[in-house]
Amino acid sequence: MFINKDLYKKILDSIPVLTVDIVIFNKNKDKILLFKRNNNPLKGIYYTPGGRVNKNEPLNNAILRKGKEELGLNLNSSELRHCGILEEFFDNSSFGDASSHHINIVYEYILEDINLINLDNQHEEFKWFDINDLSLHFYLKKKINLCLNRS
């Protein structure tokens, strides 16, 4: 569902946005696949893919849609695991200085063949990171811990 830019900026400035995020692990769950963002928030930072849930869109459909749109992957819904909910707060957004508050429904997915990935224009590249890499963004660490049931 398309929302024009001016209206969406007002929404971001006014209320939290419900989103889905995909935490992609290797099969040993000791590495996380991250994608370098082309837009704010977190432009130039390696991060998890995901995005807004549309009105009347079931969460399962939203996560499958984001996997297809952003990564070109046909995710198998039976291989997705719901990890929990995480809030993120950013001082900016893809609409400039409009701050954003995201309520993320976080899912885990195991991916072995990264050759299947076909990125959209939101990301410029991707690579594996160790799950204990100290350079990972604060929210990424929280997502990893949520999926691995660590505090």
User: Tens digit of pLDDT for each residue in 71-90?
Assistant: 999 999 999 999 999 999 99
* Beta carbons within 8 Å of 113's beta carbon, 6+ residues apart: none
Whether residue 123 contacts residue 37, with contact meaning beta carbons closer than 8 Å, is answered with yes
The CB-side HSE value for 130 (13 A sphere, CA atoms) comes to: 4
Q: Is 6 exposed, middle or buried (0-12, 13-18, 19+ CB in 10 A)?
A: exposed
| Domain that includes residue 116, residue range | 5-147
Average pLDDT over residues 29-35: 98
Strand-pair partners of 126: 35
The total domain count for the chain is: 1
Kind of pairing between the strands at 46-47 and 100-110: unpaired
- Average pLDDT, rounded, for the chain: 93
Average pLDDT over residues 34-52: 95
Residue 150 pLDDT > 80 = no
Among this protein's residues, is 87 annotated catalytic? no
Helix (H) or strand (E) holding 47: strand 46-47
DSSP single-letter state for residue 39? S
Average pLDDT over residues 92-97: 75
Q: What is the CATH number of the domain that holds 126?
A: 3.90.79.10
User: What band does 151 get if pLDDT is binned at 50, 70 and 90?
Assistant: low
Annotated catalytic residue, options 79, 87, 124, 125: 125
pTM of the model: 0.92
